[in-house]
Amino acid sequence: MPILQTPMDALRRRRRSPLPGLGLTLGVTVTFVTLIILLPLSGLAWQFAQLGWSDYLFVMSDPRTLASLRVTITAALLATVVNGIFGLLLAWVLVRYRFPGRAALDALVDLPFALPTSVAGIALVAVYAQDGWIGSLIEPLGLKIAYTWWGIVIAMTFTSVPFAVRAIQPLIEELDRREEDAATTLGASRWQTFRSITLPQLSPGILTGTGLSFVRSLGEFGAVIFIAGNLPYETEIASLLIVIRLDEFDYPAASAIAGTMLALSLIVLVVINILQTRLYRKLEGAA
């Protein structure tokens, strides 16, 4: 005689997870995170722990180290500002407009993710060097991009722009255009509508995209070293200096610089998460 199925049994059946149980999935997740993230970080932390406070200050106060940090951070900041502005414009165009080649443009945004950074660096040199397509045009004007600080900015911008676009794009897709139409009906200008209605709703995505862009730029290596010129005190980035210290078997100095860059990146990510949570709560309260 068949057993009758109660509504509760049917509900449990519908709620059955397509993935294995908590124990297995959690174990696989913890193992993956340990092998891929925690072990490399623990190795860096162990090397960093070998340094005393005086040794750390000695390494970080070295003029060459300070110069490389200055070059890296200032270039990353400018690249982040550029990505924040043009990433917003590009995401807006991809979402709000339909035009021939839109799908190709949307795919090109992700190209820096797939392209090896060293190939990107070589391509940028071919374009911006004095005999390149763009470099040959601006060279008579006394302008130079390749092998300068500006080349570093362009390389960082190229490799990190997808973070800005992809973080902002979903929020633009979710915007309620009726609010914009209502503001226009009430006499608001385009700038007033954008500043008062659109921009506050996009601010979490802009914050996330620019923050990730900045962190990505801090650690960029392959694309930068080909176009930077790598002159100590002028165009040498922190990532290259870490490699140089490793080649010199100066592991304490390399770990000190790497640990400082890692700490800066973690601080930026934590601040982003805190601010993003507050922005979302503010938006939910306003709604």
Span 154-186, pLDDT tens digits: 999 999 999 999 999 999 988 888 888 888 888
**Distances in Å between the alpha carbon of 282 and those of 21, 66, 78, 200, 203?**
36, 39, 28, 10, 11
Is residue 163 within 8 Å of residue 216, measured between CB atoms? yes
Please give the Cα distance from 73 to 167 (Å, whole number): 22
Determine the topology of domain 52-286 in CATH: MetI-like fold (1.10.3720)
- pLDDT band for 19, please (50, 70, 90 cuts): low
Task: Please tell me the predicted confidence (pLDDT) of residue 194.
Answer: 84
Q: What is the pLDDT of residues 44-53, one digit of tens each?
A: 777 777 778 8
**Whole-structure pTM value:** 0.84
Determine the residue type at 240: L
Please report the pLDDT score of residue 127 as a whole number. Answer: 92
Beta strands in the chain (DSSP E): none
Cα–Cα distance measured from residue 251 to residue 50, given in angstroms and rounded to the nearest whole number: 10
Q: What is the mean pLDDT of the chain?
A: 86
pLDDT score at 24? 78
C-alpha distances (whole Å) from 12 to each of 18, 20, 39, 78, 281 are 13, 15, 39, 54, 33
Residue 229 has pLDDT above 90, yes or no: no
**Domain assignments of the chain as residue spans, ordered by start:** 22-51, 52-286
Cα separation, 186 vs 226, in Å, equals 54
**Which pLDDT score, from 0 to 100, does residue 18 have?**
63
